[in-house]
Structure 1
């Protein structure tokens, strides 16, 4: 881990700890088949690499309809998605800096949306490319993927009505 990434993580950990303390207490997870406690929703934060923060923030605000909050964390430009403590799911940020490189490779982040077709229409209107068109995946709903304004592969998930 680079020294800068370690410093960034050190800066984010207090925020995440406060958020965790403010979340409602969850029951202890039941043991899995190995006798170990099972993890439930272990992801608490993600970062999407960007090269142009103004362009990327405008893209995500227009496509997803959520305002982003900009901050500078340890010399890195960040634009945070909203976070609702005590609610299902994780939140994260757009991140610009020397350790952040947009790519189709690596982890894929899924945004839960009420209407994949509407989100894909807004994304393509802003120059995004559809990488995987809307697909019915049975009881789990629908999924799709697009390339964002920075060249990242981003996924969408829509529950069935």
Structure 2
């Protein structure tokens, strides 16, 4: 592995219904997707910019993709966890793990998305400095 890059550079979230999943993620995270077909798989690609920190990925429908609560857990960044969880539940998500302090200046939570995947949220809390 290269010493000048992060270990993870891309992710794919399996879906059964690409339109339903895209609508779910658009509403929950206020994102726009680019729709594409790559190697016979229908994909909704998350926005990406080289100018900001982080990685991107896609919602993917295809023969080899199966949504699961037991697979890899991806955490999405949010600046307002309560509002994000509220939108997710309004869109049919099931709360799996409530907003909980992670003990290092932030919070985490998990929900089951529209397709049956376990998805995590992370919210960093900025430490106030006292001068």
TM-score in terms of structure 2 length: 0.91
Gaps of 5+ in 1: 1-35
Cross-structure match for 2:129: none
Name whichever structure is richer in helix by fraction: 1
Cross-structure match for 2:109: 144
**Larger RCO: 1 or 2 (CA < 8 Å, sep 6+):** 2
1:113 aligns with 2:84: no
For 1:76-95, list aligned pairs within 5 A.
Answer: 76-95=41-60
CA-to-partner distance for each residue in 1:103-130, whole Å, 9 max, x for gaps? 0112100000101110000000011000
**Matched residue SS, 2:104:** helix
1:47 deviation in Å? Answer: 0.2
Q: How many residues align?
A: 126
Gaps of 5+ in 2: 127-131
1:99 aligns with 2:64: yes
1:45 aligns with 2:7: no
Query: Looking at CA atoms only, which structure, 1 or 2, has the larger radius of gyration?
Result: 1
Name whichever structure is richer in strand by fraction: 2
Alpha-carbon contact 1:116-1:158 (below 8 Å) kept: yes
Cross-structure match for 2:21: 56
Instruction: Give the alignment's Cα RMSD to 1 decimal.
Output: 1.5
